[in-house]
Amino acid sequence: MILSSLLVRTAMESNLSRYGHRQTYPSRGVQGGRDEDGEVATRAELRDVAIIAHVDHGKTTLVDAMLRQAGTFHDRAEVVDRVLDSMDLEREKGITILAKQAAFHFGARRLNVVDTPGHADFGGEVERALAMVDGAMLLVDAAEGPRPQTRFVLRKAFESGLPVIPIVNKVDRPDARIGEVIDETLELFFDLDAPESQLDIPFLFGSARDGWLSLDQPDGPILDTPVGGDLGPLVDALFEWLPAPSFTEGAPLQALVTNLDASPYLGRLAICRVVEGTMRKGQQLAWCRRDGTVDRARCVELLVAEGLERIPTESAGPGELIAVAGIDEITVGETLADTESPVALPLLHIDEPSLSMTIGVNTSPLAGREGSKLTARMLRDRLDAELLGNVAIRVLATERPDTFEVQGRGELQLAVLVEIMRREGFELSVGKPEVLTRTVDGVLEEPIERLSVEVPEDHLGTMTQLLAKRKARVERIVHHGTGWVSLEHLVPARGLIGIRSELLTQTRGTAQIHHAFERYEPWQGVIRTRVSGSLVADRAGVTTPYSLASLAERGTLFVGPGEEVYEGMVVGESSRPEDMDVNPTREKKLTNMRSSSADVLVRLPPWRELTLEQALEQADETECVEVTPQTVRLRKVVLDQSERARGRKREARAAE
């Protein structure tokens, strides 16, 4: 650790001498400079902190432990794990999707903690959360070390000028490699051009699940909780190393809207950080809108966080994270200011979308049987409502009035949006995800992702061959000595569409894959991502075991016996590269002849029930996904078999 720290510090000093300046953390939240005495006023008793980490490195678990030790829950309270993951989808997938806030007291000290998503697809939530805080905690798994999403979120934190307290979590894992993880984290700081002052902040070590952290680096895994161990060292480090909210004495009110919420009693809530001045209940406000206009508004109700709840308050000062009710049309990035001097704060910068897909009403023959929201007007209203609170997506019109193009950060973000709408009662037709390109100085560029994969050593050759077909470039290969290998690649984003299911198939379900946006590069050429065709039903009806038994020899089935199908519906994956029209409804003909095997039970191999994410990965350019509240089906865009055949002939003639 000491050697790595010296190497990183020496490298940063060489950068200092090379460029002739030193990068430092800028002052956040001070719009008027200094007060009359030349000093910036601060609130020493308050800290606004974000938790950033890779997926499943312990962010939400740490918040649970902090809430318990702060006395937020009384002795008889029934507390669930990962209490901040309140959405059903978050608990099912085991990830954080929406940035959430909790506030609690440690003695006279008050902490506002924002739990942020660890997946790069939800980067819009990360950027909004970082606009609310003055510092961050970085959690790193003691065995896995920094991962692609760690790099992504940490880069955002340094770009925002946030000091970061590094925490090595899960030191109780038997495979913990604490010293190596510290070295990797310091190297990551250097790669991301962290300020030199970042190296002065000490590491903390412990287990969020067991509720303890310490400044003392353990020699190896610690399987038992130390006597008297708690989160006190973390709270002390937060107040010692992270800056307090700063403001200018006597400055007029300025509050930045960073998120939106809704209350059944108060309507829309604007989640804000008070940057300057004081917000009071009933106060007349200047509403600085995104288009540059200024309207009058009123703070009907003012709420602050206390534990996991929001409670009414009469006023809130600088640095407070508040919820304002009474402004129905307010959106993210706007400013609430003083009526006499309405000065808008800079708008939040959100990264551009890198992926798009079409979402339209369900047009299949089975439409309308399960959902309650079926019209284009309902779909348009729902997407407009999503735009108000989710600044990371865009919605564009298409040639068809019942279909819209939705652009976002990644496949998972768009799949989560579709899954939420599905649970609300929508029936949808969803197109294959496509990457968004751009042209710079006449050169076509596409998004490049940093891909991290962990596989057993036995599958290293298979993994390398599979990624090479998708134009992946090897950046790093690490042998852990435990039979597992970590690989890092740079790969075009379009090469990752559909890769997860293929990787799991080739590695027998053992591969672990994560990726995050890295940069734009010139177009990498043609990538053939799918080599198999589809088994397409050529008529409507109900599937039979007799027919499916013969089709199972031609590929992998997506449907079981007794399911209703229609012409153009994809019922399986063909073992050949071209599509195959099949009849899955064929019944066994009755005869007057008997044989010894006539009444033998038909034994079908297990079929693959596609989830929404798997269906989106499986679809090709001629297919789309039918999504209803209870069913996910894969179908051809053109259902009629004759029309598809004529279309293939036209394409063949055009190619000649």
Tally of CB atoms within 10 A around 328:
8
**Domain 247-337, CATH:** 2.40.30.10
pLDDT tens column, 430-440: 998 888 888 88
- Rounded to an integer, the average pLDDT of 520-541 is 85
The predicted pLDDT at position 86 comes to 45
Higher confidence at residue 417 or residue 410? 417
Q: Which of 111-125, 146-160, 205-219, 262-276 has the lowest mean pLDDT?
A: 111-125
Q: What is the mean pLDDT of residues 55-59?
A: 74
- Per-residue model confidence as pLDDT tens digits over 197-230: 888 899 999 998 888 899 988 887 787 777 778 8
How many other C-beta atoms lie within 10 A of the C-beta of residue 233?
18
Q: What is residue 149's DSSP assignment?
A: H
CATH fold group of domain 43-246: Rossmann fold (3.40.50)
Question: What confidence tens digit (pLDDT) does each residue in 585-610 have?
Answer: 988 877 666 555 555 677 888 888 88
**For residue range 237-269, what is the model confidence (pLDDT) as tens digits?**
999 999 988 888 888 999 988 887 777 788 778
Determine the average pLDDT of the residues in 484-489. Answer: 84
Supply the DSSP string of 368-410, one letter for each residue. Answer: TSS-SB-SHHHHHHHHHHHHHH-TT-EEEE-SSTTEEEEEES-
What are the domain boundaries of the chain?
43-246, 247-337, 355-435, 438-522, 534-589+598-655
Percent of residues, the chain, with pLDDT higher than 90: 16
Q: Which fold has domain 438-522?
A: Alpha-Beta Plaits (3.30.70)
CATH (residue range 534-589+598-655): 2.40.50.250
Query: Distance (Å, rounded) from C-alpha 447 to C-alpha 353?
Result: 10
Q: Can you say whether the dihedral through the CA atoms of 197, 203, 208, 214 is positive or negative? A: negative
How high does pLDDT run on average in the chain? 80
What percentage of the chain exceeds 70 in pLDDT?
A: 85
Query: Which residues are CB-contacts of 118 (< 8 A; sequence separation ≥ 6)?
Result: 52, 53, 54, 55, 56, 57, 59, 95, 96, 149, 153
Q: Is the dihedral of CA 522, 528, 529, 534 positive or negative?
A: positive
pLDDT value of position 23: 35
Specify the fold of 355-435.
Alpha-Beta Plaits (3.30.70)
pLDDT at 313 over 50: yes
Q: What is the largest CA-CA distance in the chain?
A: 106
pLDDT classification of 166: cutoffs 50, 70, 90 = very high
Say if 355-435 and 438-522 have the same CATH topology: yes
Extract long-range pairs of 178-181: CB within 8 Å, 24+ residues apart.
178/142, 178/205, 178/217, 178/218, 178/220, 179/1, 179/217, 180/145, 181/140, 181/141, 181/142, 181/143, 181/145, 181/146
The pTM (predicted TM-score) of the whole model is 0.70
